[in-house]
Structure 1
Amino acid sequence: MWRRLIYHPEVNYALRQTLVLCLPVVVGLIFGNLQLGLILSLVPVCCNIAGLDTPHKRFFKRLIIGTSLFALSSLAVQLLLLNAVPLAAILPGMALLLGVTAEISALHARLLPASLIAAIFTLSLVGNMPIWQPMALYTLGTIWYGLFNWFWLWLWREQPLRETLSLLYRELADYCEAKYSMLTQHIDPQTALPPLLTRQQKVVDLISQCYQQLHMLSASSHQSDYKRLRRVFQVALDLQEHISVSLHQPEEVQKLVEQSHAEAVIRWNAMTVAARLRTLSDDILYHRYPGRFSMEKPLSALEKIASQHPDNPVGQFCHYHFNRIARVLRTQRPLYVRDLMADRQRRQPLWPALKNYLSLKSSALRTAARLGVMLAVASLLGAALHLPKPWWILMTIMFVTQNGYGATRVRILHRAGGTIAGLLIAAGALHFHVAEGYTLLGMLIITLASYLIIRKSYGWATIGFTITAVYTLQLLSLNGEEMIMTRLIDTLLGCMIAFGGMVWLWPQWQSGLLRQNAHDALEKDQTAIRLILSNDPQPGPLAYERMQVNQAHNALYNSLNQAMQEPGFNNRYLADMKLWVTHSQYIVEHINAMTTLAREHNMLTPDLAQRWLQSCEIAIQRCQQRLEYDAPGKAGEVNILEPPEALAHGPLSRVEQHLQRILGHLSAMLTISSVAWRQRPHHGIWLSRRLRKSD
């Protein structure tokens, strides 16, 4: 029982965040300076947003950089205000100056909003304490936050990676169960594939997160600590490879189901695998060694069906992949050893990052400029409303602004609703005039409960944080009740400014980026097929390219989902692109299947492989040209994406079957992209004649 409590991700995270916030308050209470302890407990908010609690091999270096930026941001705001520089000029300038961090790496990019929040929070302290004191608070608070998290992560060194791996195994179980539970319903890809795409997307996202954590944790230098977890991750890669393959012959599936009880047997195998994966998920998370496993009976039944129907490829296909899955689950060892660090992503050095940042094509520059303009508008609005320190409006903008339109809209709704509910509850509770000790105890309980649910229910967590914020103001200045209505208006104004900024200030509509993402996905497909059909495909590069294909398709699918949530999108254009993405997913699954065959050297002769490769490259390049050029399809254009004449006769090997179906999907994608281009919107980014390559 204690393992499930202490190792549970939500409980572990909530305990860490609550302790790092509340211990300074306890120390301040003990030494008779509660106000200083409350102010010091607010610094970890900046550290959380900056990701300074992320386990990293350069943990202390990032801590020093974060401390310096917070202190310098605080100093800059105070000095510039003393020199009568308007706030509407200070914050945009800081945003543009700090925006270069996004060009260095994604983790460094989090320093921009955190430093701006430090500067905004300093506004509430200006005039109430000397210039050096806010800097000292940020320095001491960040050092305390870093040392506490370093000690906590030292106690639970493997836990962040274990949590991600546990989620990965659980998602693999759900994906396997959903894919093979009802085979007869998978005939129509329009209804069957979208739920599977969503699950596949979650799996690939978690795999990418595991890669990042292995790099950040410097797993290669901690051989004894992470040896078993690296093996567990490699097992998950093998499982994803075999679960996500596709034969894509719905008519053959239907025929086998009608001729035998194959559907029940395949479902039996899938359920057995899914149950084992969920057990392993708990074992990984709660530090337990897995027990023995065997699925001999389900495999025997599947093998019997495959032997009874030798002309139907579905039975042999399912038996082959389930047999590999069972072997991996039984031995708990990967089918082959990969070099997990081969695709290490190096961070961009400062000077090249600055050069890229100064280009008008830089997305980091546009993001920083958008944020700066929103803060400037909020500052001018505060001046118009005679608010000398509109820090709550500014803070609301920082908290609700996310990378995309959809995420910002959802965060605004949750933030506004949670704040309104929290202020109403706090307004009623303040009338009871509870003693200070009980107030602090209640704030502790509310903080713990809010952090327990923040990952899944941000709106409900905001209610708790709003209550603690009001009581913090009450304890600091004894006027929390008077500021409730003001805080409510400030929150709504901040949400409105953030929403307007995401809609009208240089928006990066995903529907306009679909062509580029589709082009990139085809490029990755071509690279992977070229490697698979090479003379001597090596397992390491094969694994890397396979994941690159999956991640590129994931980016395409993400942009499609976000485009469907954007205002004013073109229904017909997105409907056509949705069908295009469906065929792209089938190509990804065929590449997954061919990767396993290439690793086992079950390939074609060099001459045959070269001829198939030429056919695939021609097909992919024609699809790319259709996406790239601003021209409608020719009226008399005939689709000639067919395999070579000499390859169309006689029985095809398993690799050739996959290649033939890839050509079929590419043929459909060529037709779809010709139609989709005519359905495109006729303004903005959609009118560019050529695709702009991303820098």
Structure 2
Amino acid sequence: MWRRLIYHPEVNYALRQTLVLCLPVAIGLVLGHLQQGLLFSLVPACCNIAGLDTPHKRFFKRLFIGGSLFALSSLAVQLMLYQDVPLPIILSGMALVLGVTAEISSLHARLLPASLIAAIFTLSLAGNMPLWQPILIYVLGTLWYGAFNWFWFWMWREQPLRETLSLLYRELARYCDAKYSMLTQHTEPGTALPPLLVHQQKVVDLISQCYQQLHMLAANRQNDYKRLLRAFQIALDLQEHISVSLHQPEEVQKLVKQTHAEKVIRWTAYTVSERLQVLADDILYHRYPTRFSMDKQSEALEKIARQHPDNPVGQFFNYHFSRIARVLRTQRPLYVRDLMEDRQRRLPLFPALKSYLSFKSAALRNAARIAVMLSIASLVGNAFHLPKPYWILMTVMFVTQNGYGATRVRIFHRAGGTMAGLLIAGVALHFHFPEGFALLAMLAITLVSYLIIRKSYGWATMGFTVTAVYTLQLITLNAEQFILPRLIDTLIGCLIAFGGMVWLWPQWQTGLLRQNAHDALEADQDAIRLILSDNAEAGPLAWQRMRVNQAHNALYNSLNQAMQEPGFNTHYLADMKLWVTHSQFVVEHINAITTLAREHNMLTPQLAERYLQSCEIAIQRCQQRLEYDEPSASNDASILEPPEALPSGPLSTMEQHLQRILGHLSTMHTISSVAWRQRPHHGIWLKRRLRDDA
């Protein structure tokens, strides 16, 4: 029982966040400096947003950079306020200067909002204490935050990676269960595949997160992570065999009518799903896996395949489930991969600065957007005669996310949670609870809020609003007068953030769909070229296969976000949804032929060359259809015709998959030709060539 409590991801996270916040308050209460303890506890909010609690091989270096930026931001705000520099100019300049961090890497990009929030906190403190005191609070607060988190991660050394792996195994179980429970329910890909794409998306996201954690922790060079590395390689094997596709619905229906194959396949999939759920718990709660066998299921599948040699469906399921069974029984990967480091784009400061000083830089556009929003928030504050509109500014920073959909959801939860929290706090303040009781209640509310923040941001915001109001009460003793103004400030901040995401240089995902589709085709081409080469090695094959899955995942994410954006073209997105469906089939066939290539089930060199040329020509036709701004398919004449006719008749398994890839690529080209006529006629779509979008 205690393992389930202490190792549970939400409980572990909530305990860490609550302790790092509340221990300074407790120490301040004991020493008779409660107000300083409450102010000290504001720093972890900046550190959280900056991602300084992310386990990383450069943990202390990132901590030093973060603390320095917080202190410098605090100093800059106070000095410029003393020089009577207008607040919009101060915040705009800081946003544009700090925006270069996003050009270095995605993790460094989190320093921009965190540093701006540190500056906004300082805005509320300036004039109420000496200049050096806020700076000292940020320096000591960051040191405390870093020391506490280092100690916590030292105690729970493998826990971050364990949590991600556990989630990965659970999602693989759901994916396997969903895929084979729908085996004969649908024969049309348009209805059968979208539910599975959701599971596939989550699986690939978790695999990408594992790769990032392995890279950040340098886990490949540490013996402590050997068991977890093996579990990750097993998960890669499982994803490879679960996500494959034969895509012959007529053959599936024929086999189901002739045999009891449907029951056997569902039974086998259910057994695999149950075992994956058990392994997810074993990984999370530090347990050794128990013995496992699915011999009965394997024998039943083998019998079906033997009795119907002319139907490829039986052999297909027998092949892939037999390898899944071997992995689950032995708890060893099918082969040992060289887990290549995640190729994150990371630039040194000066090359990043050069790239940042370009109008094509997404980091510059984001920084400019934030600068304009903060300037507007400052001007609105002046219009309402607020010399320090820090609550409006903080609301803008807290609700602004990378995309329109995420910002809209965050605004809804932030506004609703703040309104409910202020109402509760206003009622509670009338009862004049003793200080000790209020602090205990704040501790409990903080713990509960962190327990639910990942799944219920609105409810967590309600709890944090109550604690924020009581913090003001303990510091100023007149928090009641802040309730109504803070509610108005929150609504104003949400409106400014929403307007900024809609009207200030928005990066609509409808405009990025074309680029992401082109990148997905490029990854498919690289994978097919590697698979059909003479010296296909297991390591590069595995890495390229994951690149194909990740590229398709980026495309699917863009499609999902585009369908939530205002004013999107429904006809165009409906066609692109079908395009993405066929792209997923291509990915599943690449997953399948990757396993065949690794086991040296290859074609003759001449036949491999013919298939490679056919696939490359088909992919280039699709890419050209995406790239050129022409209303018809007249540009196809510039593409070479396919080589001599491909073989027909009895085909090997590899050839079957390649021919189905060609069929899907042909359909995708036709869909692109239709979708292009439905495309939007504004903004990024007015550009003639795809490569001009970069």
- Pick closer, same or farther for the CA change 1:561–1:636 going to 2, 3 Å: closer
1:354 aligns with 353
The one-letter amino acid of 2:191's match is T
Structural mapping, 1:521-670, within 5 Å: 521-634=520-633, 645-670=644-669
CA apart distance, 1:512: 1.0
- Alignment correspondent of 2:128: 128
Equivalent in the alignment of 1:286: 285
Distance 1:246 1:643 in 2: 25
Once residues 638 and 302 of structure 1 are traced to their aligned partners in structure 2, the CA distance between those partners, rounded to angstroms, is: 48
The equivalent of 2:271 in structure 1 is: 272
Q: Which letter does structure 1 place at the counterpart of 2:452?
A: I
Shift of 1:670: 0.5
Give the corresponding residue for 2:32.
Answer: 32
RMSD between aligned alpha carbons? Answer: 1.4
Measure the CA separation in 2 of the matches of 1:259 and 1:645: 38
CA distance in 2, matches of 1:221, 1:554: 29
Structure 2 counterpart SS, 1:647: coil
Alignment match, 1:449: 448
CA contact 2:530–2:541 (8 Å) conserved in 1: yes
> Structure 1 stretches (4+) deviating beyond 6 angstroms?
635-643
- Deviation at residue 190 of structure 1 after TM alignment: 1.3
* 1:332-347 alignment, distance < 5 Å: 332-345=331-344, 347=346
Q: Distance in 2 between matches of 1:76 and 1:36?
A: 22
Instruction: Give the distance between the partners of 2:370 and 2:638, measured in 1 at CA.
Output: 47
Report Cα offsets for 1:620-651 as digits up to 9, x if no partner.
00110000000022489799999755533331
Q: Which residue of 2 aligns with 1:685?
A: 684
Shift of 1:194: 0.7
Deviation per CA, 1:303-340, whole angstroms, max 9, x where unpaired? 11111111110110001000000001111111111111
Distance 1:663 1:654 in 2: 15
Could you say if the C-alpha distance between residues 355 and 639 of structure 1 is closer, same or farther in structure 2, counting changes exceeding 3 Å?
Answer: closer
Q: Give yes or no for the alignment of 1:423 onto 2:422.
A: yes
Alignment of 1:8-407 (within 5 A): 8-222=8-222, 224-345=223-344, 347-407=346-406
Q: Describe the shift of the 1:455–1:245 C-alpha distance in structure 2 as closer, same or farther (beyond 3 A).
A: same
Deviations 1:554-575 (A, max 9, x none): 0000000000000000000000
In structure 2, give the amino acid aligned to 1:663. Answer: L
What's 1:485 paired with? 484
> 1:641, 1:667 within 8 Å by CA — same for their partners in 2?
no
In the TM superposition, what whole-angstrom CA distance separates every residue of 1:638-695 from its partner, at most 9, and x where no partner exists? 9999975553333111111011000000110011000100001111111211013676
Q: Which ranges of structure 2 fall in alignment gaps of 5 or more residues? A: none
Following the alignment from structure 1 to structure 2, what is the Cα–Cα distance between the partners of residues 510 and 77?
A: 36
* Residue identity opposite 1:515 in structure 2: R
Establish whether residue 507 from structure 1 lines up as the match of residue 541 from structure 2: no
**Structure 1, unpaired ranges of 5+:** none
- In the TM superposition, residue 348 of structure 1 has moved relative to its aligned partner by 1.2
Structure 1's 255 and 645: CA in aligned 2 closer, same or farther, altered over 3 A?
Answer: farther
Contact in 1 for aligned 2:251/2:313 (Cα 8 Å): yes
Q: What CA distance in whole angstroms lies between the structure 2 residues aligned with 1:543 and 1:488? A: 53
1:408 aligns with 2:403: no
Matched AA of 2:127: G
Distance 1:221 1:525 in 2: 31
CA deviation profile, 1:173-211 (whole Å, cap 9, x unmatched): 000000011211231111111110010000000000000
Distance 2:398 2:691 in 1: 32
Q: SS where residue 292 of structure 2 aligns? A: coil
Sequence identity percentage: 80
| TM-fit CA distance, 1:347 | 2.1
1:452 Cα offset (Å):
0.3
Q: Match of 1:434, SS?
A: coil
8 Å CA contact retained: 2:373, 2:497: yes
**Residues 643 and 660, structure 1, Cα contact 8 Å, conserved in 2:** no
Measure the CA separation in 2 of the matches of 1:640 and 1:103.
Answer: 37
Name the SS of the counterpart of 1:237 in structure 2.
helix
- C-alpha change, 1:464 and 1:641, in structure 2 (3 Å) is farther
Q: TM-score by structure 1 length?
A: 0.98
SS in 1 for 2:691: coil
CA deviation string 1:141-193 (max 9, x = no partner): 01000000000000000000000000000000000000011211231111111
Aligned partners of 2:621 and 2:636 also within 8 Å? no
